[in-house]
Amino acid sequence: MKTHDLIDVLSLDDTPANVQWMQRRVGPAVLLAALLCLLIAETLWSVRSDMQEAVLLAAFWFKLGFAVSLALIAAWALPSAARPVGLHIQRVWYLLLPVVVIWVRAVGVLLDAPAADLPTLVYGQTWQKCSLLIVALALPLLVASLWACKEAAPSKPRLTGFVLGVLSGAIAASIYSLHCVEMSAFFIGIWYALGILVTGLLGLFLGGRVLRW
């Protein structure tokens, strides 16, 4: 086919462009998947029984804040990453901010605590399953968000996949944090962060395959 003819065909396809696809497609897909994850988590573990006391503790809010802020930053970076130009692609670096904050907090706690407490602070009671459960809980979110971004045109598909993975992992971690009794900033900074990072890497791997266009 001649380029000239192709242009004729293209100019005849006047199906309205799907503007606001971020808000209309990616947003609802992620919200629905998050709801599903909340249901799964609620069915499997149910919200921690001492929630009323927990909400009075700063440590609880550091934990929830860590996960929620990572999700918000990823969502903020996503529209740039998922488009051809990516004007604000450097926003991805802000993902490091919550990690730094939680580690500063962890070191602060350590200075006040006897050194013998360190293993308890790091391992808690559930370190063996924490990261794994976050990754597992994030899978529906990752699948939904990758599907929703199929129409995107990222010039860096793997980076976009990574942002989607962190978004999914962080939402899953936010939900998981309501059901998990660990409170130490060390625990969050290691095992929560690891779960989110693994989901991010999974997204990176899948993005390089699914999001190419």
Partner 1 sequence: MVSKQSTEPRSKLEEELSNLFLLGMKGEKQEYKHFLNVLSKYLRGYFYKKMQSAPDFVEDLVQEVLIAVHNKRHTYEPQEPLTPWLHAIAKYKYVDFLRAKKNEHLNDSLDDSQELWVEEIPQAFESHTDLTLLMSDLPESHRVAIELTKINGLSVKDAAQMSGLSESAIKVGVHRGLKKLATLIRKSHENT
Q: Interaction with partner 1 in 134-173: which residues (CB under 8 A)? A: 151-153, 155
Q: Does 23 bind partner 1 (CB under 8 A)?
A: no
User: Considering only residues 35, 42, 125, 212, which one is a binding residue for partner 1 as defined by CB under 8 A?
Assistant: 212
Q: Which is nearer to partner 1, 65 or 86 (CB)?
A: 86
The answer to whether residues 164 and 210 touch, using CB atoms and an 8 Å cutoff, is no
Question: Are 111 and 168 in contact, with CB atoms under 8 Å apart?
Answer: no
Q: How far is the CB of 18 from partner 1 (least distance, A)?
A: 4
In this chain, which of 52, 56, 87, 115 binds partner 1, going by CB under 8 A?
A: 87
Nearest Cα neighbor of 186 from 45, 62, 50 is 62
Q: How far apart are the C-alpha atoms of 30 and 135, rounded to whole Å?
A: 16
* Structural tokens at position 209: 């395959």
Q: Which stretch binds partner 1 (CB under 8 A): 17-25, 39-47, 61-69, 94-102?
A: 17-25
Nearer to partner 1, 144 or 152 (CB): 152
Estimate the share of the chain in helix, then strand, then coil, as percent rounded to the nearest 5: 80, 0, 20
Site string for partner 1, 172-201 (x = CB under 8 A): ------------------------------
Helix (H, G, I), strand (E, B), or coil: what is residue 144?
helix
Cβ proximity to partner 1: between 5 and 112 the closer is: 5
Q: Which of 17, 56, 111, 116 binds partner 1 (CB under 8 A)?
A: 17
207 near partner 1, rule: CB under 8 A? no
182: closest CA among 133, 145, 111, 130? Answer: 130
153 to each of 18, 146, 164, 187, how far by Cα in Å?
A: 13, 12, 14, 37
Q: Which residues bind partner 1 (CB under 8 A)?
A: 1-15, 17-19, 21, 82-87, 151-153, 155, 212-213
